[in-house]
Amino acid sequence: MKARVTVTLKSGVLDPQGQAIVGSLTSLGFEGINGVRQGKVFDVNLAETDPDKAKALLNDMCEKLLANTVIENYAVELLD
Amino acid sequence: MKARVTVTLKSGVLDPQGQAIVGSLTSLGFEGINGVRQGKVFDVNLAETDPDKAKALLNDMCEKLLANTVIENYAVELLD
């Protein structure tokens, strides 16, 4: 089973990388960039075929490794 | 206008980070992990309100900065 995990910073958490990207885009001549926040995406390929078990497994992976739950949110999406 | 840009490695491109994550997950006791590929996600806040112009702007940002189009694919999604 294929799944996508998206990990993003919680609102209110400072994102220096996102700010640096705004600066770079502006220096490249882009206008009207009100903000950029960068996150991570993980495309995971699991042997598990049961959707509920796969979701539980992925949530557990996020809690233990893929996300820093103090400052990050995560969303799990099963792709097939 | 809010949009999400997702940048992922093209298939066939080696992903050492993804492989490292598989190793870490396995050492944490997770089983049945057939593969992990890591990418980036950018939540962009634009002053532009016209959807077509916003998409063109975002594609241009990807081509010039957000994605390395030699080894990465990008997908643009308008959120509102």
Taking an 8 Å cut-off on Cβ atoms, the answer to whether A8 and B43 are in contact is: yes
Q: Where are the domains of chain A?
A: 2-78
Cα(A27)–Cα(A18) distance, integer angstroms: 14
Question: For chain A, what percent of residues have pLDDT higher than 90?
Answer: 99
Kindly list the residues of chain A whose beta carbon comes within 8 Å of any beta carbon in chain B: 6, 8, 18, 21, 24-25, 28, 30-48, 57, 60-61, 64-66
pLDDT (tens digit, 9 = 90+) per residue, B30-72? 999 999 999 999 999 999 999 999 999 999 999 999 999 999 9
Average of per-residue pLDDT values in chain A = 97
Q: B1: which chain A residues are within 8 Å (Cβ-Cβ)? A: none
Q: Is there a contact between A61 and B25 (Cβ–Cβ < 8 Å)?
A: yes
Is residue B80 over pLDDT 90?
A: no
Reported ipTM: the value is 0.94
Q: Check: CATH 3.30.1280.10 for B2-78?
A: yes
Q: How many other C-beta atoms lie within 10 A of the C-beta of residue B16?
A: 8
Q: Which residues pair with A5 in a beta bridge?
A: A42, A76
